[in-house]
Chains A and B, each alone.
Chain A
């Protein structure tokens, strides 16, 4: 078993065969994962040698549990292991297919009653923490030298295409040459390789030991061979298996796997190669054509003939006794595609995903060659605690497949909702919320869920178990990592925090607070931060639906978002643009936080805001808003001075800021009359042109007042001026209506 880390596609897919004869047979078979040719060598070698020991590259601490692998599983399955140190989790998968050489080794060993041992260091060992080795680089260089574009193509060309025409000895020699060529010039022996060699030596020296067959990654073989050749003495005792420290949480469980998840481009193809029923090329050609026709793509009989001819032609020009995967794919691209392709053929690019809209033929090829087989575990396979915990919760909360309706106002329903949200956040399939509150301000209290059974539930839960032993712990860890990856994207942050509220995790996970606060410090969007602050504040003050009122996480968010609003507001400099309602709302939210959440704000931003209000270089609407936050504490004279300090053309924007934050306080404050008079004086002095320029912003600013308050303001203004009697808007309107009616009556239209 060698490991494949997700993302490192070709780096670790080798595992080969080598032969050392030290009195007794020690055969080291260097293999590549999921290679039918290697599987054949392993099977035939073990059958021929009837060894007493079969040693396989894989975590030595799993040897005690190797019987789990012998259960009657339906492949593909994978051994999923995790290592958690504090907040850092590393997971690895070692996948098995029916033709995995390691799997075949295990099966064949049972047949000849050989003792099986896994001989690599455990996955938590620091030896695995380093950067991936140079295998893929060396292999890519070799492939380029052979005129092949990917390592996969090279492997098929060098090994798989000849597997049927060579004897096991010849094929083994090919493999050894292949892996020697890849490791050439690298004489270092890694810690893992030394450890594996120590097991091999022990097996060789043990009393009563016969032949020993070793199955390991091909790229390790040259190093293991040189290590064995050094002939260090051994007492025949098995090497010690290192044990992890108490600070490390480790776990290894089998999970059902599927062809689509395998770190292998075309599992279906290799399955056909392994089964050797008929020519895999012909079977694949027929399957691709069938797939295309089932999707209403036209493939004529002539096209089909052309396709098959092309496969044979390509195999011939490339010297393949049997067509390889690439021959089939290339032939399909040649003969079935009738358009220019937007991007290079995906199989010519190692590990790159398909473009946004791949050609239907290319998609059909990839889909067919990948296959859709899914594995299942034997029911007796052990599962991690989280799986049992979830089963228990689902039973306790009566969450069975089918629709579920929850009223969040009810405590038990809220508990059920939280469990469902935790499963949703973990990405466990089969738990879908079809309706429910979408934000903290939503007025609905009913949630609807649809629960369905899914084959993916178990593997996802087993993998989620790497993050925690209970549902709350795992979901919390997931939210934390989402928060970390959301970084300074305020929209994602808001989304994740609302998820935390829905999951009821907002007062549980301590570290979440610091991560979220830290992320907020990087946010550069004032409007977005304001929205987040507003939402958090509303929930913290009023929420009864989700049970998040007064939550510590929301408190921390309110505190850091408030500081961030102040910091960002300072950064907005005066420009020619008008008032920005979003940033005004941000300061309004801040003002509310200062008023209603004073006790959780670590610093009082009042002085900062006073300075901002006086800052001539700051945006005018922000200055108005900043002043608005402390409006009721400002003496009337100072307020009037502030109004007069603003240039007339920006007065409207400034008032927008002020009214947006302090509309209510403005009318209540004793300064309101004097300020209004000051504004009126400024406006009266404007020339016609200046007035027209200033008018839109002034209008916008008074729109913050509802009509009744606007009426009050108008009355206050008019009572203080001589033209008072005339400007009663209602009366004027009535008079106008009467005149219109008269005019209509006179011309007989009424």
Chain B
């Protein structure tokens, strides 16, 4: 058994950077914050001169707006398509602001109030009655008591009444525990507490969210990466890191990631780079999905044949991605590969065209 953790939280992965930034920047910090606003921004966006690695690829002004929001009395709501790095951004910001990104609630249809506020250790509760000892604080209570940022992932997937639990917490900044008495009956939020919620626009958008709750958040829409080269570079570095972690020693052909990103961008936007229209897929064609495809391609090549993975491997994985949500998409993808592949002369595109035709039949 290996003792290596698959993915340590951001504050552990970048512990050295966080410590250095906290030590070097002596400027004024918002109350309860580990870093100044500027250092938090530097931590997320990176700074070559300071030796801070860039971690989030995207709009710097989005990060600035998000940080300023967290320093105010409103929560931060990150909305966007799946795979646009909302969760990564929320993790990095929480690590920068509170030095802790683990106070996380994962929203879902089965999420209940207990997972947000507090629940009880029933053995102790029966034995001793309600007390701070028998109480099991959930992330929101801990975040308030300790003055930290709480992350609420996929908040819109929770039932509406559960979402509304956040209302009084965010406006009154106090959590009442009616079972207890005295000072313990009220948990007041300490400085540094705030909430970063994420919501994706695909399954259940923010439209159903109550107006009262919406008012307590500042909304930031995270868009797919606008620049082609940036996206290719990201897919390249991220998939390379994943492949190294999976024990793959071969370097992937740069043509693979370039083809992949071109294809994803075309199908995501409905236009090729030169502006000619193509059919959009309803499946999610995010950068994250592209990274995982590049990863799968490399894994197939390496563990099946010992090479770096070819466009044919990519075609195999691609068919699965495109049919995830909608079987119509498979037909759209086939038409796209046929049409665009016939116009692009590079070896990679021709290989994709042949492989895809073989896979999907006539």
Chain A residues within CB distance 8 Å of chain B = 147-149, 153, 300, 302-303, 306, 309-310, 313-314, 316-319, 326, 330-331, 333-335, 337-341, 343-344, 348-349
Contact = CB atoms under 8 A, between A and B. Distances in A.
A656 to B, nearest CB: 34
Contact of B71 (A303, A313, A326): A313
A349 B227 CA distance: 11
B205 A330 contact: no
A688 B130 CA distance: 92
Contact of A149 (B41, B60, B73): B60
Given A337-B219, A339-B219, A349-B226, A314 B64 contact: yes
Contact of B61 (A310, A313, A348): A348
B218 interface: yes
A341 B38 CA distance: 26
A153 B45 CA distance: 18
B223 A343 contact: yes
A314 B226 CA distance: 23
Interface string B211-235: 1001100111101001000000000
A310 B205 contact: no
A306 B205 contact: no
A210 B352 CA distance: 72
B79 interface: yes
B344 to A, nearest CB: 25
Contact of A340 (B41, B73, B206): B206
Given A317-B41, A340-B79, A334 B60 contact: no
A148 B80 contact: no
A306 B214 CA distance: 14
Interface of B: 37-38, 41, 45, 59-61, 64-65, 67-69, 71-74, 79-80, 199, 201, 205-207, 211, 214-215, 218-221, 223, 226
A651 to B, nearest CB: 35
Contacts of B64: 314, 317-318, 330
Given A310-B68, A330-B65, A334-B218, 16 more contacts: A148-B60, A300-B215, A303-B215, A309-B72, A313-B71, A313-B72, A317-B41, A333-B65, A334-B220, A337-B221, A338-B211, A340-B219, A343-B223, A348-B59, A348-B61, A349-B226
Contact of B69 (A302, A334, A341): A334
Given A335-B74, A340-B205, A310 B60 contact: no
Contacts of A306: 72-74, 218
29 contacts: A148-B61, A149-B61, A306-B218, A310-B65, A310-B68, A314-B64, A314-B68, A316-B37, A317-B37, A317-B38, A319-B38, A333-B220, A334-B219, A335-B218, A338-B206, A338-B211, A338-B214, A338-B219, A339-B206, A339-B219, A340-B79, A340-B199, A340-B201, A340-B219, A340-B221, A341-B221, A344-B59, A344-B226, A348-B59
Nearest to B64: A317
A333 B68 CA distance: 13
A312 to B, nearest CB: 9
Nearest to B206: A340
Contacts of A314: 64-65, 68
A334 B59 CA distance: 14
Contacts of B45: 147
Chain A CB within 10 A, most for which of B68, B199, B207: B68
A319 B61 CA distance: 13
A317 to B, nearest CB: 4
Given A310-B72, A313-B68, A335-B74, A147 B214 contact: no
Nearest to A342: B221
User: In the complex, which of the residues B41, B61, B207, B226 has the most CB atoms of chain A within 10 Å of its own CB atom?
Assistant: B61
A334 to B, nearest CB: 5
Nearest to A343: B223
A310 B45 CA distance: 20
A82 B218 CA distance: 49
B166 to A, nearest CB: 15
B88 to A, nearest CB: 18
Contacts of A330: 61, 64-65
A2 to B, nearest CB: 29
Contacts of A310: 65, 68-69, 72, 218
A314 B65 CA distance: 7
A310 B72 CA distance: 8
A341 B223 CA distance: 9
B94 to A, nearest CB: 17
A153 B61 CA distance: 10
A317 B69 contact: no
Contacts of A302: 215
Contacts of A343: 223
Contacts of A318: 64
A314 B201 CA distance: 27
Given A149-B60, A314-B68, A338 B38 contact: no
Interface centre among B38, B80, B218 (most CB of A within 10 A): B218
A722 to B, nearest CB: 56
B61 A326 contact: yes
Contacts of B59: 149, 344, 348
B67 A317 contact: yes
Sorted nearest first, the 10 A-B pairs with minimum C-beta distance are: A313-B68, A340-B79, A341-B221, A317-B37, A147-B60, A334-B65, A334-B218, A338-B214, A340-B201, A344-B223
B48 to A, nearest CB: 10
Nearest to B66: A334
Contacts of B61: 148-149, 153, 326, 330, 348
A337 B64 CA distance: 16
A412 to B, nearest CB: 49
Contacts of B199: 340
A348 B219 CA distance: 17
Nearest to B38: A317
B221 A317 contact: no
Nearest to B69: A334
